[in-house]
Chain A
Amino acid sequence: MTSVLVFDSKVLILDKDGFMFNEKRIRIITGHYGSGKTEFAVNYTLGLADKGVKTAIVDLDIVNPYFRSRELEPVFNEKGIRVISSSIKGLAGDLPALSPEVYTVFHDKSYQAVFDVGGDKVGATALGRYHEYLDNEPYDMLFVLNANRRQTKDVEGAVKYLKSIEEGSRQKVTALVNNTHLCGETTIDDIIRGQELCEKAAKELGIPVKYIVVEKRFADMLPKEMEGEVFPIDIYMKRPWEDEA
């Protein structure tokens, strides 16, 4: 049984396991490219749709030509999720061409929306053009952090990076997401080290650590005392040699 409670533009979605997606209606997912932001956004969106709510994913990535959430359109469509990205269909187009459909999710408040914003400050700049909407409706902006990326491996770097994304996007980050991984080579130590970084950075910024993103195999191995909710994910953004033959 899923119950959806909405108050003050905040949606509380509880499922039978008591798992919450307690972000605001508009969620913006940002981070360094390679932070695993898209993987998190994809899993988050699919999870949200599984709760039976009307969901849209907005792929605002104008930075990365490959590995964008729009590549998973068939997977999203199967779950009835609306995918909004470029007005040009086809993956080979080297054009930003943001779709006017993006405005739909601001106007039609029956949507639960996830914005997947391109990595780094430049990618976040594309969000700047929507700031008049975001100034008028509370949102959650999650900053996905991977301690294995050089630019965000210590508190100073992470904070600096986060600020540059805030500057580019003209919006404020509301929570951190620990997504420290090393592709196939991730160890539990990576996750714990990343969590320490996130908690320190969060303290400095005065915002919470909301989620700890881990591949399912790690879900039961994590220490208890960690800020945030464990968010187990499946890997969707596969490289061509990772496909089953």
Chain B
Amino acid sequence: MAVIFEKTKALTDKTFHYCPGCTHGIIHRLVAEVLEELNLTDNAIGVAPVGCSVFAYDYFNCDMHEAAHGRAPAVATGIKRVHPDNAVFTYQGDGDLASIGCAEIVHAAMRGEKFTTIFVNNAIYGMTGGQMAPTTLIGQKATTAPLGRDENHAGLPLKVSEMLATIPKAVFVERVSVHDVKHINQAKKAIKKAFQLQMEGKGFTLVEVLSTCPTNWGKTPVESLKWLQENMMPYFPLGNFRTPEEV
């Protein structure tokens, strides 16, 4: 019998714990496929965050660190400085990266740390049960914004990619989405590019992935994909914000 589909070897056989329809699973898979295709699985060292993807260390079939909440970029800096030839990546949620870890990510980018960050933006705190994230949209309800996020009180959602793209040594910054096959393919391309540039020693690379949280959004998986498209994409436009000039 011919094998027509094989799960990437860069993922372990452990079943994901994510809620059904959560796109964390797809994003894991894309990262893993890229590692395998670039022949980096045996060389990669990943850093898992604190957030719903806290068990990422059980899923990626490579060396992994678990970091304190928000500190993954600092941990990755330590790893990459010790192992400059390894593929180093962080996988972080929006609470982890854009709230408590905002300083770490900005300074890793500023220094041009040569690792890749996969930034999963689902506009909410999933793990702790639906609190407001820096990326929560205006009017979107959260347990700590019971009447919906109010811009006069909590400001406007942080556009991380746009912000980091202003940093010279952030050489590759792209926002992608995984709500349909076409976009999943584009997302994979961006992730691949980021790892390639990392291995070429170009500088800091980041891919922001718009993601769903059906459980805390209170929506079916299909509705969630639609909500992402209709609400998140207008505010968080997809596209490349930084890429090194081809020579």
- Complex contacts, A125 vs chain B, CB 8 Å: 130, 215-218
Determine whether the beta carbon of A88 is less than 8 Å from that of B17: yes
Size category of the A interface is: 20 to 34
* B218 near A126: Cβ-Cβ < 8 Å: yes
Counting CB contacts under 8 A, is A95 at the interface?
Answer: yes
- Is B221's beta carbon under 8 Å from chain A? yes
A21 within 8 A of B: no
Please, how many angstroms separate the alpha-carbon atoms of A88 and B52 in the complex? 12
A147 to B136, CA, bound (A): 35
Stretch of A72-80, A127-135, A206-214 lying at the B interface: A127-135
* CB–CB A95/B214 < 8 A: no
- Chain B binding site: helix, strand, loop or mixed by DSSP? loop
| Contacting pair B17 A97 (CB below 8 A) | yes
A103 to B, closest residue via Cβ: B20
B66: min CB distance to chain A, Å: 14
**Which chain A residues border B220 with CB–CB below 8 Å?**
128-132
What 1/0 flags go to A84-108 for Cβ under 8 Å of B?
0011100000111110101100000
Q: Say yes or no: A95 contacts B20, CB within 8 Å.
A: no
- Does B143 make an interface contact (CB < 8 A)? yes
Nearest opposing residue in chain B for A118, CB measure: B129
Interface contact A129-B54, CB-CB below 8 Å = no
Question: Would you call A100 and B20 a contact (CB within 8 A)?
Answer: yes
> Is A62's beta carbon under 8 Å from chain B?
yes
Out of A97, A122, A127, name the residue touching B130 (CB < 8 Å). A122
Q: Check A27 for interface membership: any CB of B closer than 8 A.
A: no
Nearest B-chain residue to A96, judged by Cβ = B215
Question: Contacts A96-B126, A122-B130 known; A129 to B15 CB distance under 8 Å?
Answer: no
Is A63 an interface residue when CB atoms closer than 8 A count as contact?
yes
Asked if B127 is at the interface (CB within 8 A of a chain A CB), the reply is yes
Q: Decide: A95 and B127 in contact? CB cutoff 8 A.
A: yes
Give every chain B residue within 8 A of A94 (Cβ-Cβ): 127-128
**B215 x A129 contact (CB < 8 A):** yes
Q: Which of B89-135 contact A (CB under 8 A)?
A: 126-130
Q: Could you say which of B129, B214, B217 has the most chain A C-beta atoms within 10 Å of its C-beta?
A: B129
Tell me the A residues contacting B by CB distance below 8 Å.
Answer: 62-63, 86-88, 94-98, 100, 102-103, 122, 125-132, 168-170
Given contacts A62-B130, A125-B218, 18 further A-B contacts (CB under 8 A): A88-B55, A94-B127, A96-B215, A96-B216, A97-B52, A98-B19, A122-B143, A125-B130, A128-B218, A128-B219, A128-B220, A129-B21, A129-B214, A129-B215, A129-B219, A129-B220, A130-B220, A132-B220
